[in-house]
Structures are given as C-alpha cells and as structure tokens.
A and B are shown apart, each in its own frame.
Chain A
Amino acid sequence: MLDFSRFIRVEAKVIVARDILNENKGVALVSKEFAGKFGIKEGQTVKLTRNGRTVKLVAKPSEFAEGVDVVIPNDFFASQLVDFDSFKQFTASVELER
C-alpha cells in the first residue's frame, strides 16, 4: 500500500499561515493523518501544484496541521501558489517527488 503512494497525486486542503520558525526554508507542515494516509515521511520532498504552478517543499509531519492537510508559511514559496482571492486557503495537488 505504501509503495503505491509514490504514484498517487492527491488533492489537499492547504492553508497559508505565518510561521516565523519555518519560513523561507521550503518547509510544508503535513498533518499526521494526511502523512499516514499517503505514506509521507519527514524530510521527503513533496510537489504542490496549483493553477499550473509547482513548488517543491520538504514535508514535516506536524500536530500544527491537524484540521487541514498541509500548512505552508507565508513566504516566497507560498507567493508562487496563491492569488488574491485564495490568499490564505486553497486546494492544491500534492505529489511525492520520486
């Protein structure tokens, strides 16, 4: 089951939140539930894609993403994905980097 996760691309609920400890480091906090479901482990690279734009981030399972799927800091990486009408919350497809 875990092997197949490398080929899956899933839609995830992503929110952008201030994170002064993790910002500008290319980190994405992933909820333990989401990480468990798709076999994402700490330190693995994930690709977040939205509206044709993709960023590569390092996944970090965290209790602070509980309630959503992914939390990314509002930094340069988030600026690649957001638009003014989806500034803090959006859906993106998440894929594990092979």
Chain B
Amino acid sequence: MICTGCSCLCDDIAIRDGKILNACRKGVKLFNVKRAIPMVNSKPSSFEEAIDRAKRIVSTANKLVVFGLDTIPCEAQQKAIELAEAKNAAIDDCSSFCLGDFVELILKGELPTATLEEVRDNAYVIVYWGSNPYQSLPRHMSRFTYYPRSGKRQRGYEEDRYLVVVDVRLSETAKLAKKGGKFIMGNDADVIDSFLKALNGRAGKYPEVAAIIKEMQKADFNVIFGGLGLKYGLRGDYSRFIEMVEKLNEFTRVVFIPAGFHANMRGFNELMYRKTGVVNAYDFSSNERLTFSEAVKKADAALIIGSNPAKSLPSWIAKKLAQIDTIIVDPSQSLTSKIAKVVIPTAISGIDQGGTMVRSDGVSVELKPIREGVTDAEVLSLLMEVV
C-alpha cells in the first residue's frame, strides 16, 4: 500500500495481523480517521441530497472559490481545475502559504533538482534548511537521506553522509546533526550571506560554513532540502539563495528539493503550472494571481476539497467560511465539516481511493488502495454537471 500521509508517499506499507506495518505516526492517522457522513445545514442527510444541495450552491454562486486539493489524486485535481475554469472561479491550495514558491522555482529551472532515489544513492552532504523532518516527514531521513546504505553510499551515516541543519532553533533533527555533521542556529539571510562570503574566501557571521563547503567538495553530489523555515525566513525574496546554490554548483554538484508537504501538493502545482504558467493562487475570471485568503473575502461560496482550513488557517477564515455557502468534500469529520453548509464524504486516498500522486521530488506514484469508496473525481464530475 502507499501511504498518503505526506509527500514521502512511502510505498512499503502493509497490514498484517491487524497491525499497520512501516507507516509512521502521521501515516497511521489516516487509518484512524473519523469518517464524515453526508450533511446539509448541519443535519444528517442522504448522499444524493447533499450532492443536490451542493450542485445548487455551485450553479448559483457568483464568486466561487475552490480550495484544498492537496490530499486528492491528480485525476481529481484535474477535475477541480476544470470546474474552477468553467465557473470563472478562483482556485488555490495550501502551497501558497506552504512551499509552492520552491516548486515554482524548480519547475522554472531556477534551482537544480534531482529525485529522492538519486539522493539516497549518491548524496554526501545533506542539508535540512528550515525543515525538521522528524516531525513533518518522519521517515524522510531513514528512507532517503541520512540512514540508507545504497548506491555509492554503502557506509551509510557513519562515513558516507554528512548531516547539516540550518534552523532558528534546536530541533530534533538539529540534535542529530550536532552529532554527525553540523548545526547552524541562525537567521537564514545571515547564513546565506556567510556561504556566499565563504565561497569568495571571506568570513561572514557563521564562519563554520566553510567546513560545510569543504565537505561538499569532497563529493560529487550534495542536496539541500528547503522547508517552511527557509520560505518564511526569506520573506519571498529568494534571489540570494538562488545565487548561493548557483555559486556552490561552480565548485561541486548541489541540488535542491523542497523538504515536503501534503501528499499531492506537487501534483496540483504541476497541473496548474502546465495549464496557467503558475503553480497556485489563480483566478479564472480575471486570469490573475489570487490567493485563497484574498479570494475568500469576496466569495459567496466555497468548495473545500480534502482539507481542513477552519482548523489550520488563521481563525478569521473559519468565521468567513461559516458565513458563506461552504461545501466540504472530504473523508473526515473536522472543524470545517462542522461549519459547512454541505458535507460530502469521500474516500481516503491510498486506502479506498486510487489514482496518481506526485512526490515532493516530482516522481509520480500510482496509489494501491485496498478498498473502493466514493472518489473525489466522481463527486467533482457530478458537480460539473451544473456548470
């Protein structure tokens, strides 16, 4: 089975004797989801009634916003984009406040990249920059980076890997880096500046980066994983970071991969990029960029698919979604399903819903569900009938 708990998309999950094997704590949550039931105006209803009401909302909406989309397969994401286009609606996913920027830089070719298998087989210096995989992507280090003995890195973490963590605080991963590599606790701009200075033979605020560069030069393949800490630390200006990666590549090969996010966030980014030239936050009525937070302010209806914005976004979003006609299409009972006008339960990707998903490094994965439920693509096709 393939786990859709995060963008690692681990493909070695098995169920034996009633136990879930190999899935981390995040992945196991998918198996214990409290399933949603069809609801209209907070009262249980039949599936058909919920669909009917949702169709009515979609067909009469003047300013519809479509949001979520990161936990559903590409086939369903494609349908959602078609629906948004047909309705001249705004569409956005979590990547506009997550790592959409990094995926866009990679798709545009501004940062060199590689696959996670290439990292596993070749990478020596592994940098987690503004990312703490222990909490966000638990198996990332053991499956792909620091611990596997594979390819040219047969001696594993003992001799063939060098772990670097750059963060503003001591994270669990930073604690490991202190033992088997380097931990730089500092502000992102200062660390980037130190790297650039060191590459020119000068010392910046963190002279220890010179040792990291030296280690990088020992090998022919190194990787930087960029996380949310880096994104928010740089406040939208990646020019110096790109310059740093370019300069490093004059001395040795350094690739960049976004650390990780929701299971199929990159799938949505790639579909949107192919269609519109941007990875997210798009308004089909004006053909301009428009984030969910901006779009929801003017929206009269919201179609939330595979997400729980009432819980994970600033609280004013929950208040607004409760005021307008919100439809939620999602497998679980959540804060958003409590405030939505219509609740349409669908399958959990990877368990009772199949399809394609794209891993954090751009590799496509075909899900292997064990059951069949109502798919998000089916529900979206039904809603498309009124558009």
Contacts and interface: CB of A to CB of B under 8 A. Distances in A.
Given A66-B169, A84-B97, A88-B228, A18 B311 contact: no
A74 B136 CA distance: 11
Contact of B314 (A63, A66, A84): A84
B97 A87 contact: yes
A65 B136 CA distance: 17
Interface of B: 25-26, 97, 132, 135-136, 138, 167-172, 175, 185, 228-229, 232-233, 291, 293, 311-315, 318, 335
Nearest to A65: B169
A46 B136 CA distance: 26
Contact of B171 (A64, A74, A76): A64
B170 A64 contact: yes
Contacts, number: 62
A15 B169 contact: yes
Contacts of B170: 63-67
Contacts of B135: 17-21
B315 A67 contact: no
B229 A20 contact: no
B311 A20 contact: no
A82 B223 CA distance: 31
A79 B315 contact: yes
Interface string A57-98: 000000111111001001110011011100111000000000
B30 to A, nearest CB: 13
B312 A64 contact: no
A20 B171 contact: no
Closest 6 CB pairs of A and B: A67-B169, A66-B170, A88-B232, A18-B135, A18-B136, A68-B169
